[in-house]
Amino acid sequence: MPDNPLLPANTALDRALIEGATFTDSHCVALSRGDASMVDIFFAIFGHHPAWLKALLLVRHRCGAWFGLEAASAAQVLNPTQEATYRVGQAIGPWPLYFLGESELVAGRDNKHLDFRLSVLKHGTGPAAYATVTTVCRVHNRFGRAYLRVIAPFHTWGVRRLLSRASRAGRL
């Protein structure tokens, strides 16, 4: 498999998914709390959506459910709660957890129109620590391609914004 310069080389993301990816992106952020757990980093980023984004996510999930797609519940979007422990297969936020290690967390969802994974990977320690948030999507049909064309620019902007907000708020 040729290396994708957008993806971290040491990720636990499934290689078959990466090879068949229709969309990938990665964004890095410095960690001021290099000792934070992967779950803490995940919730520092994805557990603090602004109200307008929560509203958009609810609309997106409701529309997806009309098309028979699995979607997060309103409670998972509006009030994400952090459990004391997590294991693979359990939901973290709105997504099933696929991998959880000391330095990486992979969550995502498989649906009729596309499969996606979100990786949060921690690099380094102490003041040199940072996290890379990577998204990989593989579409299955025309609906998935159309959906991805519409969502991808907002996704990229949104992830960058969430990382910036988490960093500015001192959660990372």
Q: What CATH number is attached to the domain comprising 60?
A: 3.30.530
Distance between CA atoms of residues 95 and 171, nearest Å: 21
For residue 10, which amino acid is it? N
Distance between CA atoms of residues 160 and 163, nearest Å: 5
Per-residue tokens: 157: 């902007």
**93 domain residue, yes or no:** yes
- What single-letter DSSP state applies at residue 54? H
**91 domain residue, yes or no:** yes
The DSSP result for 84-148, as a single string, is: S---TTSEETTEEEEEE-SSEEEEEEE-SSEEEEEEEEEES-GGG-EEEEEEEEEE-SHHHHHHH
Q: What is the pLDDT of residue 44?
A: 94
Number of domains into which the chain is organized = 1
**5 domain residue, yes or no:** no
**8 domain residue, yes or no:** no
Tens of pLDDT along the chain (172 residues) come to 234 556 788 899 988 999 999 999 999 999 998 789 999 999 999 888 777 776 777 777 676 666 666 666 666 666 677 888 999 999 998 889 999 999 999 999 998 899 999 999 999 887 889 999 999 999 999 988 988 898 888 888 889 999 999 999 999 9
Domain interval for residue 125? 15-168
Q: What is the pLDDT of residue 127?
A: 80
Distance between CA atoms of residues 107 and 43, nearest Å: 12
Distance between CA atoms of residues 31 and 76, nearest Å: 26
**2 domain residue, yes or no:** no
**155 domain residue, yes or no:** yes
Q: What is the pLDDT of residue 150?
A: 85
**1 domain residue, yes or no:** no
Can you give the pTM of this predicted structure? 0.85
**125 domain residue, yes or no:** yes
